[in-house]
Every structure is written in C-alpha cells, then in structure tokens.
Amino acid sequence: MADDTNRQPAPNPAESGPRSEKWAEKQVALRVLVYVFVTHAIAGFIWLLFYLGDHANK
C-alpha cells in the first residue's frame, strides 16, 4: 500500500502561466479601486455629518 499523506497535489495548469499573472494584476487593481471608493465614501459621510451639524438649528 502506498502512503498518500505527504503527497503534493498535481499542479493545476489554469493557475500557472501568464494568464494567472494578468488575473492577479486585475485583482489588485480592483481591490485598490474598491479601497479608494470606500475610503472616499466614508470621508464624504463624515463630512456630511459635520456639515449638517454645523447648519442645524440650535
């Protein structure tokens, strides 16, 4: 009987080569765009709270 506990899985051809590099670059670009958008959305919301608080009837 063969012991398969230390056996490495066969490499997946879809996860290697230039296509995976392009996909990784796209993922990084998408992540950066999402982070920039979310950061600006949070900053805009905080700015809106300050603006509304400054113009509230006191």
- What 8-state DSSP symbol labels residue 9? P
pLDDT in tens, 3-55: 667 777 666 655 666 678 889 999 999 999 999 999 999 999 999 999 999 99
Q: What is the pLDDT of residue 39?
A: 98
Residue 56 has pLDDT above 80, yes or no: yes
Q: How far is CA 53 from the centre of its chain?
A: 33
What are the residue ranges spanned by the domains of the chain?
Answer: 20-54
Amino acid identity at 27: Q
Helix or strand run (H / E) with residue 25: helix 18-54
Angle, CA of 3, 6 and 9, to the nearest 5°: 105
pTM over cut 0.85 = no
- Under the banding of pLDDT at 50, 70 and 90, the label for residue 57 is confident
Measure CA of the first residue to CA of the last residue in the chain; give whole Å.
83
Q: What is the pLDDT of residue 43?
A: 98
